[in-house]
Structure 1
C-alpha cells in the first residue's frame, strides 16, 4: 500500500464537490439538472454515499485499499459496462450475435420502425445506434447533443435540442435513453431480471455481490411471460442504477484483465472481452461501453492499452494490461482524476 500512498492521499484530498446526502442539497447532486424540463428530475431511488474510496490490484492481488472499499455506493455510468458483460453472457449462450439486427429476435419492443430496424446489437454497444423513440417514458431527444467529459468532439447544438438523425452505425452519441433501450432489450432476451442474471453469472462467481443492488425507475415495469419485471437503467442519470462496492468493481476489472476467465472458468467469452476494448470506426476513443486511451488523450500518463469504466460523480475502473493493474477510485473530483492516474503510473515505474 505504501507504494501507492501518494496517489491515495491525493484522491482522498480531492473529493467530488457533491453533497454526501442527495436529499441535503439536491441541486448540487447528480447530472439530471442539465436536462430540459420535465426530464430534469429523478425517476428512481438514490441514497447517501461514502467518501473517496478505492482498490488497487497488481498481478491479480489486492495491494491497496482505502476509504470504505466494501461500501455499496451508486456508480452511475460504470453500469453501462455491466450491460456489455451481460450481452457477452448472452452471446456465449447463443442468444445474440453482435452483428444481428435486434428486431430479428425481439420484434415489438421498439426496433420495428424503418429507421430502427437497421440497428444491431453492436450499434447499441458502441453507442452509434441512433435509436429513435421513447423508452420507459424518456424520449431519445433528451440526450441529443449531449457531451460528456471524455468526449473529444465539440458540441453541435444545445442539449435536448432535436437534431437530424443519422443512419445507424454512422454517428456516435453518448445517450442514456438508448442505453436504457439496450437494457430493456437484454431483459426481453434473458426473460429474467438483469440484476439476478448479473449476480448469478458475474458477481457471485467472482466471490462478490454483498449489498449489490441494481434498481430501476419507479415506473419501469414490464410484463414478460406473465411475470412483472423491472427494467434497470445503465446508470444513475435519472436515479436508480447500480450500487456496488469498490472491491466488487475491482473484481470485475480483474475479470476483464484476465480475458473473461476466473478460477479456470470462462464467465465472458475471451473474444468478447477483446472486442470490448477495440476502438470503433466512428469513435476510436470508445469500445463497447468502455473508454479507451489509444492516443493518450484520455489520460496522458496511462499506458496506451489502458481502458476504463467511467461514471459521473468521479467513478473510474482502470484496466491496464501492460502493467497487470486494476485500479478503482470512487467519488474523486473528475477534474482531478488525471492527477490520480499520474501518481499511480509513477508508482508503477
Structure 2
C-alpha cells in the first residue's frame, strides 16, 4: 500500500524536536523547560531516560497493519500513565475496593489528605476526570504548580503556576499532575500493593506484554502501608519517573481497551469499564476518565468522533477509533503534525 507507506514516512519525518538526551543545553529537563517552570517548581524527583526515535504501530481489525521504528525500545510515555491509572481504578472498582466512583475519597480514611474543607467532598470520579480541585502538597509539589496549565483544549486565565481561587470539587476542569499523583497514592492505599505490581499481575502479564517495561516513582515518594514501605508512582513523567514502555507493549494495552477489556476468552478489565472510560465529563466534554475524547472532532478533525486517546507529552499517542476498527500507537511525533498522520492513515485504509 503506497499510501500507507507515505503515511509512515510522514510520521517518521515529523519526529518530536525534544533532544535525545531529554535535557536542554543548560541541563534542564526538557519537560519542565517546555512547561515554562522555574526553580523550585522544576525540581526533578524521578529518573529521566534518554529517548529513542519516532516509532509506531497500526492494527486494524486486530491485525497488524504497519510497524515502524524501534517498537521494542522502552521509552518514557509521560501522561499516557494517567490512562493506565484509570485501568487500575477499574480493577479497584471491580474488586470492591472502591464501592462507587461517586463515593467521597475521605470516607475511605486513607490519610488526612481529604479532611480539609476544600477536599472533604472530593469523589473518585472527580479525581479521574481532573475536576477534583484538590488542594495540598504531595512529595514536595504543591497543587498550585499546575494552576492555569494549558493542555489540549483548556484555556488559562493567567500564566501556569499562578495561584488562583479554587472552585467546588466537580465544577472545574484543570489538568494538574499533583492531583493525578494524589489519585495514584489513593489507589495504592486501597490496593495495599504497589501499582506496578498490580498492573503487571492483572493486566500486562495476561496480555503477553514484555518484561521490559517499568513504572518509576520519585526519590521521595515512598510511603508505609500496613507497616511495609511502598513507592507511590506518578501519573506521568512531569518531574521524572512514570511509565517507561515500548510501543509494542503500549499497543497490547490499546488492543485490550479496544476489545472491551477482554483478551482471548478472559475478561481482564471489569465488564463495561471501557465504556465508562469514554463517557464525557459534564464540565469537560472532551475528557473521559483520564482518556481524551474526540468530542466535536476537536482533537483530530479527520478521526471519527467516537475516537479516544491516551496522550502523553512528547508526543505519545494511543489512538482507538472504533468506527474504523483501528488501534494506533505513535511515539515521539511532533504534536502539531500528528493530525497530518491521522489524515494520511485514514485516507490510506479507505482505498
TM-score by length of 2: 0.96
Aligned to 2:46: 44
1:47-70 CA deviation, whole Å, 9 max, x = no partner?
111100011111112121110111
Aligned to 1:10: 10
In the TM superposition, what are the counterparts of 1:6-155 in structure 2 within 5 Å? Answer: 6-23=6-23, 25=25, 29-33=29-33, 34-96=36-98, 97-148=100-151, 150-151=152-153, 153-155=154-156
Q: Is the 8 A contact 1:36 1:142 kept in 2?
A: no
Distance 1:2 1:185, change over 3 A: farther
Aligned to 2:295: 294
Distance 1:203 1:107, change over 3 A: closer
**Shift of residue 94 of structure 1?**
0.7
Q: CA separation in 2, counterparts of 1:9 and 1:283?
A: 35
**Shift of residue 32 of structure 1?**
1.3
1:204-226 CA deviation, whole Å, 9 max, x = no partner?
11100321110001111111111
Distance 1:264 1:337, change over 3 A: same
Give 5+ residue unaligned stretches, structure 2: none
1:235-262 CA deviation, whole Å, 9 max, x = no partner?
0000010001101111111111111111
Aligned to 1:313: 314
- Please identify, of 107-116 and 223-232, the stretch whose mean Cα deviation from structure 2 is larger: 107-116
**Shift of residue 22 of structure 1?**
2.3
2:247 pairs with 1:261 = no
Q: CA separation in 1, counterparts of 2:26 and 2:125?
A: 36
Distance 1:259 1:114, change over 3 A: same
**Shift of residue 30 of structure 1?**
2.7
Detail structure 1 runs of 4+ shifted over 6 Å in the superposition.
none
Aligned length: 347
Q: CA separation in 2, counterparts of 1:2 and 1:29?
A: 39
1:106-146 CA deviation, whole Å, 9 max, x = no partner?
34241111221101100000000000011111110000000
Q: CA separation in 1, counterparts of 2:305 and 2:343?
A: 13
Give 5+ residue unaligned stretches, structure 1: none
Q: Secondary structure at the match of 1:81?
A: helix
Q: Secondary structure at the match of 1:31?
A: helix
Q: CA separation in 2, counterparts of 1:115 and 1:30?
A: 33
Q: Is the 8 A contact 2:24 2:30 kept in 1?
A: no
TM-score by length of 1: 0.96
Aligned to 2:216: 215
Q: Is the 8 A contact 1:106 1:185 kept in 2?
A: no
Q: Is the 8 A contact 1:106 1:189 kept in 2?
A: no
1:265-313 CA deviation, whole Å, 9 max, x = no partner?
1111232210111111100000000111020111000011000010000
Q: CA separation in 2, counterparts of 1:109 and 1:12?
A: 48
Q: CA separation in 1, counterparts of 2:6 and 2:74?
A: 25
Distance 1:231 1:302, change over 3 A: same
Q: CA separation in 2, counterparts of 1:2 and 1:233?
A: 41
